[in-house]
Structure 1
Amino acid sequence: MAILGTIVKSVYELRSIPIELRKRKDCNKAQIKVLRKLLTKAQNTAFGEHYNFPGILSKQNTVKAFQESVPTFDYNSMFRKWWYRAINGEGFVSWPGRVKYFALTSGTSESSSKQIPVTGDMIRAIRRTSIRQLVSTARYKFPIEFYEKGILMIGGSTHLNFNGTYYEGDLSGISAGNIPFWFQHFYKPGKRISRERQWDTKLDEIVKSAPDWDIGIIVGVPAWIQIILERIIEQHKLTNIHDIWPDLAVYVHSGVSFEPYVKSFDKLFGKPVIYNESYLASEGYIAFQSSLDRRVMQLVVDNGLFYEFVPFNDENFDTEGNMVENPEAITLDKVIEGAEYALLLSNCAGAWRYLLGDTIKFMSKEDCEIVITGRTKHFLSLCGEHLSQENMNKAVKMLQDEFNIEIREFTVAGFRHESMFAHKWYLGTEDDIDPELAVQKIDEYLKVLNDDYRVERIAAVTDVFLEILPPKAFSNWMKVHGKEGGANKFPRVLKGEKYEQWEAYLKDYKNNL
């Protein structure tokens, strides 16, 4: 099977100069082309007819006409007005044909989970971007033999639920169930184990099979990958994971900021491993890290996704992170480097001007390079402190570095306290640290990182509390709520009912220790 390595190297070498030029092409022109393709293909759907896609396409300024004709949607409005029809088996609702797959993602207050349409066009688009990312690893100058190693991809079960009309499951399970035949030789844990729905059983099978594999690349959410690697090391009495997988060289992570996990992961390896970030959502493969020396991701601008950017501020979002009607939405040519935006997406699965829920910053407008800063609803601003997920991640990283500790999980909540406000941090660590010292340090870091926080701490946010918990308290919460494995992540911010559930859970958890 040495042919794959040769092909990857050859493709990269043939395209290396165009790739560099493509980074500097007009990303906005590429986006306009994508939008016209999407509108053309969907013009005969119910959505396309309702919003007169043919009329939009006839206008000289397609983007302006599109924004003036089509409103913005969040999940609830898109589902209630359009996607419910596709769920019921109707075809040509917001994309041509009937939707065969729906990806299940984290729930909202209105439902236990979101059902995101995944079309054949979307599966092919994700596959194309995945191949681009694989080809981009040739920049690291691995030997050709490296590309014959296994790729361990940890995601949801490929054994999807079928209700007679459509299949539903985790996007990673849908994608793994549709991998091309030529990739099946490299894909681990393989078809049998990947069909397993029970996380504990799947974990046991992976740990048992680990010595039979020669893994070069690992892909998955950090929290679950860490558990798997620790179990393999413990079960097979290894010093580190390289004792069993000596050629492991790349870990591709997605879903959450990797900063808080770096210290923990470094201890699992016996050799340097390249940490490579990707931005794969149920709505599309949005960006991936294509260079080794820059911790940024390149936006995929020419593969079935059209982006708009809503400035993440009080004019466009309320205190709960809900987008207002008719928000300011700008295109790629008008973004400002360093400003924070919420992402609107139109895609090849029938999402139109759809609020994804993530917030990003452009680090290079010219090269379309971004970083993820958080979620529109995963921030704290009880009284104007505007504490972002990016601030939280950095504060936790600073605490780890200063005290040489590992914090495997954390979450933050805000609430009314003695007529004013307070924050409470929950840190998951097995290391010893005084909670009072930890909260003092985190408070100090945040005052440096965030001017609004510093101002509000003087009067409005009168207290900050912190509780140290065993990491298992977090993973057990996920288990209790049926969120083990796959692409599931522990929320960085807890609000309302979820915070009340968390507090009740902790009370029971501590009583049972």
Structure 2
Amino acid sequence: MSQMATKALFNTVVNWFIRQRIDQIENFIRQPIETQHGVLFSQLYHAENTDYGKIHGFSSISTYEDFRRNVPVVTYEDFEPFIEKARQGKADVFWPGYIRKFAKSSGTTNAKSKFIPISEESLEDCHYKAGKDLLSIYANNHPENSLFSNKNLRLGGSAELYQDFNTKFGDLSAIMIENLPFWVEITTTPSKKVSLMSEWESKLKAIVSEVKNEDVGSITGVPSWMMVLLQRTLQETGHATISELWPNLEVFFHGGISFKPYREQYNKIIGKEINYYEIYNASEGFFAIQDRHGSDEMLLMLDYGIFYEFIPMDTFHSAGRQAIPLSEVELGKNYAMVITTNSGLWRYLIGDTVKFTSLSPFRIRVSGRTKHYINAFGEELMIDNVEAALTRACAETNACVSDFTGAPVFMKDGDSGAHEWIFEFTQNPDDLERFTDIFDEALKSLNSDYEAKRYNNMTLNRPVVHVAKPQLFYNWMSSRGKLGGQNKVPRLSNDREYIDPILEMNA
């Protein structure tokens, strides 16, 4: 049998195998509330003899109301003492047995590293299951795919696994790559050795060296860092577009940050139409997958051992805030997501905000972060407003933005405040003043609070817009030791912690 025929047969067999999961996905779509009820009470029963289970009376919980009353909503800082006990080798702290793996993540909102517990159940029944589901959904939507005839290019975090207290910690991607099944390993590039390299610049060179001669059919990663890799690959090979180098490329599976600001750049650099599928995952779990071709909504995955609750953002900062279950959510409202997981995170505030776009089935969009917003003047500006306004301004001025950040200019000496923005363009707008006006008007139309504060410049003046030097954000991230992986440019801040040093670098 020829190599091509072998590849085609392998592709057919794997496609058949992974599509078997579709029936189970359709089952939780039909019975979402029952599925979630089963997840919650299975986990309460499983963990009732842990330290956390005894403290909060898991064995006496028989209704959701009991659960809500007995178990507090927590942040990482609240839960950290329990995580530290588990990290130091204590069993049965918040999940039965020992937790041997921890995903180390350092968010932009807190300089201190977080150690997120990763149980064996979470690895198998959440993270790996989701990876298979992503392929299953894609294969079901595109029966003529050649996904397994060609290589998948993965771009994980700069990652090593460290041993400490007989437990391991590192980037989630390192933990996953270390434990991948063999059939995934033979269909992915670069090699495990290169994927697990830590130093970003050396890693980029090594990846380009390996992947430039591969037949890549799909790519997986964070849009910002994948763009850097693709640009380096073109520089190294001399090709004009990625499709010249990899003519069989058919899909980009992306997550971590919004794809909206990058779509135009990807269309240009790839040089042909491909499919784009979004995923929503984090060290804490895998939550949602785009289940329809061409959609910007994601299906909330309800049978991964994660029980979901939601706090309406209009009450998030009030003393009487209360989380609600999936059965009570409404369309179009901003919610902070609260998760209870099969790694022993109980009613944990992950820090993301979501909006429901459909209630049958439950589909969402990620709308922002609970700590990344501008509300210095009561305007309640979230990232989804900004990205929609930016899309409009770019379309009408032939511009393309690669990175940006925004922050308030506070009122001083009786002057109104403002929002200050730094945009890094890969294609400058025809007219920067017009770009600013369109951006401003779009924000007014999308956010009535912003519009009210902008009325006659009484509270907010017109936005202050700066054009960034090329590579400004890359260089700023590099100066903070935050290149690659899950590191992200903070898009919005309610203070000037980020924008002032960036403006200084741009001077």
TM range (shorter): over 0.9
Preserved CA contact (<8 Å) 2:398 2:427: no
Q: What code does the residue aligned with 1:132 have?
A: D
Partner of 1:53: 58
Q: Which residue of 1 aligns with 2:447?
A: 450
1:429 paired to 2:430? no
Contact 1:220 1:487 in 2 (8 A): no
Partner in structure 2 of residue 179 of structure 1: 180
Q: Which moved more, 1:252-261 or 1:161-170?
A: 161-170
Structure 1 pair 111/46, CA: closer, same or farther in 2 (3 Å)? farther
**Which residue identity does 2:478 align to in structure 1?**
K
Q: Which is worse superposed, 290-299 or 277-286?
A: 290-299
What's the offset of the Cα at 1:295?
2.1
Partners of 2:25 and 2:343 lie apart in 1 by: 30
- Corresponding residue SS for 2:349: strand
Shift of 1:12: 5.9
| C-alpha displacement of 1:111 | 4.5
Partner residue in 2 for 1:9: 15
Is contact 2:152–2:217 with CA below 8 Å preserved after alignment? yes
Q: What's the CA shift string for 1:341-375, capped at 9, x where partnerless?
A: 11000001111111111111111111011111111
- The answer for the alignment partner of 1:361 in structure 2 is 355
Give SS of 2:96's match. Answer: coil
Provide the rounded CA distance (Å) in 1 between the counterparts of 2:146 and 2:450.
51
Per-residue deviation, 1:453: 0.6
Q: Which amino acid aligns with 2:100?
A: K
Question: How do 1:470-489 and structure 2 match up within 5 A?
Answer: 470-489=469-488
2:300 pairs with 1:306: no
Are 1:337 and 2:320 counterparts?
A: no
TM (norm. structure 1) is 0.92
CA drift at 1:165: 3.0
Q: Give CA deviations for 1:2-27 in whole Å, capped at 9, x if unaligned.
A: 454223432466565x3674364120
Give the secondary-structure state (helix, strand or coil) at the position aligned to 1:38: helix
Q: Is the 8 A contact 1:51 1:69 kept in 2?
A: yes
Write the mapping of 1:117-128 to structure 2, written as runs, cut at 5 A.
117-124=117-124, 125-128=126-129
The share of aligned pairs that are identical, in percent, is 32
- In the alignment, the residues of structure 2 paired with residue 435 and residue 337 of structure 1 have an alpha-carbon distance, to the nearest angstrom, of 36
Residue 254 of structure 2 contacts residue 279 of structure 2 at CA under 8 Å; is this kept in 1? yes
Give the structure 1 partner of residue 213 of structure 2: 212
Tell me if 1:381 matches 2:375.
Answer: yes
The one-letter code of the counterpart of 1:233 is L
Aligned to 2:30: 25
Size of the aligned set, in residue pairs, is 495
Q: Structure 1: how far apart are the matches of 2:377 and 2:20? A: 55
Q: Deviations over 1:480-500 (max 9, x none)?
A: 11110112111111344xx34
Matched-pair contact (CA < 8 Å) for 1:409–1:471: no
Q: Which runs of 5+ in 1 are unaligned?
A: 318-323
Give runs of aligned pairs for residues 105-116 of structure 1, distance below 5 A: 105-107=105-107, 111-116=111-116
Distance 1:471 1:98 in 2: 48
**1:229 to 2:219 alignment:** no
Structure 2: which 5+ runs fail to align? 1-5
Runs of 4+ in 1 over 6 A off after TM superposition: none
Shift of 1:272: 1.0
CA pair 158-431 structure 1, distance change in 2 beyond 3 A: closer
Matched-pair contact (CA < 8 Å) for 2:147–2:218 = no
Deviating more after overlay: 158-167 vs 443-452: 158-167
Partner of 1:104: 104
Identify the residue that residue 189 of structure 1 maps to in structure 2. 190
Structure 2 match to 1:320: none
Match of 1:321 in 2: none
Distance in 2 (CA, whole Å) between partners of 1:378 and 1:88 is 32
CA contact (8 A) 1:23 1:368 kept: no
Using the size of structure 2 for normalisation, the TM-score is 0.93
Query: Displacement, 1:415?
Result: 3.2
Measure the CA separation in 1 of the matches of 2:341 and 2:18. 27
User: Deviation string for 1:363-394 (max 9, x for gaps)?
Assistant: 11110111111111111111221111100111
Change beyond 3 A, Cα 1:185–1:158: farther
CA shift in 2, pair 1:285/1:208, >3 Å? same
Q: Does 1:398 align with 2:397?
A: no
Aligned to 1:39: 44
1:85–1:12 Cα change, 3 Å: closer
